[in-house]
Structure 1
Amino acid sequence: MTVALAIAWAHFGRRKHVLTWTASYGVGVLQWLANAAGFFLQSPALYIVTGIGLITSGSLLAIGIRQRSGRPLHVAAFAIPASVVSLMMALAIGSLGSQIMQGMIIPTYVGTLLLVSAASLWPRGRPLTPPEKAFFACLILYAMCQLALAMSATFIRSPTEGKELYRNILGLFMPTIYVGTAVSAVLVVAGDLAQQLRSQMRHDPLTEVLNRRGLEEAAASAIAQARRHDRPLALVICDLDGFKALNDNFGHIAGDQALKGFARLLILAVRRGDIVGRMGGDEFGLLLQDSDAQAAADVMERVRLEVAHLTLPRVPNGALRASFGVAALQPTDRTLEDMVHRADEALYAAKKDGKNRVSIARAIA
């Protein structure tokens, strides 16, 4: 499983959380070796190493989950409790010699840590993906096995009496769920990569808005929804006036900054649910849901005024201007291209009338 996660890290984007999970299972390898050596050599020191390995492995698994979820990560929040539990475990094995404490301390800590990790895995604002569901289930089962292990330790009465249940849980269930958790983690990594690739196929890498393909896919759904609920829909086609001259005079870096700044302005101007895409070059398309042509034009007029005040490092103040063509969804429109044709005509009219203005396409009689 360590090798599988290392391969996943090397080939699936080299994400930090995958490397942390790889380290978790790498520590697990050392922990299992120390445990086996401690059993055959009857060495308390090796059992202490085993306990520290379990604590470290569980902590790294939890840290990786928080890294992936983007939640705040404070190393001290893991290091301090882990150190306290390690000290308690060392005392239980060494000076106290309590087998009940040995059997309870680490499983209780690791089980609680895994339950917190499962909660951290849950994403905000969307349901779990199938790989995430598998990983979540494995984390819960892993936690339950650890807590069951801790409870079974209370039945230990002597070095020989009461250990059967503890050993059965440890030997029959723990290896299986340990491997299952790693397999589901690899599936999560693969699922993240697939989602990333899908996003890259639909988004423009420079401006991070939808590309032409993504815009067409989103438009098909928006048009169908507008027709289903008999609601208005408006398309805006816009571009930067004199963009070629900007590139020629100030360089392509300035041109890229202008495109990114213009895209951010468009995103901020529309509502959640509206669609922004880059159609190519300096041309952008916007679909404004529940908006007629006039309402869309009013929004774009505010954007037009703001474009001139856009401050960018390599672009002179006041160098940017933009023109906008607006077209409303008509009963005869079936695809995005039907709307694009009229919006393009309106944009051409805006350019012809002097640029730096908003023009609305004439409705079909």
Structure 2
Amino acid sequence: MSTLLSDLGTDLPLVAAPMAGGPSTPALVTAAARAGGLGFLAGGYKTAQALAGQIHTARAEGIAFGVNLFVPNPAPVSDAAYRRYARALRPEADRYGLTLPGEPVEDDDHWADKIDLLTSAPVPWVSFTFGIPDRAVVRALRTAGSTVLQCVTSAGEARLAAESGVHALIVQAQDAGGHSATLTPARPPRPLQLTDLIAAVRRSADLPLIATGGITTSTDVATALAAGAEAAMVGTALLRTHESGASAPHKAALADPAFPATTVTRAFTGRPARALRNRFTDHYDPIAPAGYPALHHLTGPLRKAATAAGDTDLIHLWAGTGHRHAKAEPAADTYARLAAQL
């Protein structure tokens, strides 16, 4: 049992990953805790008020849990590149009667309000992705009593994270579903297999590690722990569980033979993210510029409309490479399968 997790009384070194956009419900976080692990609420894309509501719900269950935030680390897109991409998307928008944003929207995802929330009403764990918060933010959260984690995708990022004063690192490998945590989305680091990445990070930063990316079986969990991680973080494996808030079309696509492969694409948000390959990724990834959060806001109305219509050709079907192991079952059953070799 890892020291990192045992301090909070968890029985299993298994962490439910924060999955922004809906999947990481308070019910999923609670189920992870009840199964002996730990779960994270996803603060990304939420207002501080909406996040506070989910924190209140989880706290009322009397469980340990964490909150993940997106650190502002914009990848600006030129007006010309934005307009070209918006024009290319217009036929899709027209089919749904949508008007997409005419100008790039660059925001910070309510960063200051959410930091104020987490320092004034602390939660046991706080994790960060997309960027590294400044030392003052990390210090404030530590002073408030939170264990602070930083998601990294390379040894170099691990060194920077260690300098910020965080307690531990989440090491995300190339097979992860959804967004890459890379600090340099226009120039992602050289991809490594999870065990190799764990080894590289261990050499560069003397901090506890949580491994993530492609962990969907009990063998994957055991391999990550044997490589030096104190815990394994799972996301895709939980997407189809009863407690997951993933959309019905997303859950169905994960098991649909029509979607056999994943691909890393920036077509949806302007940041690299792994998703089930569909018509949108095939057609638009070759022409999509880098540009986050502007592309996220540009395609957001289209993705929302497509999800409501069950149009899986246009939905961002986030998924890791092991997505076929995701089962429609209670999260407790998924946890039991993942823990079989512990």
Query: What TM-score, normalized by structure 1, do the two folds share?
Result: 0.18
Say which structure is richer in strand. Answer: 2
Task: Tell which has more relative contact order, 1 or 2 (C-alpha 8 A, sep 6+).
Answer: 2
Flag the structure with higher helix content: 1
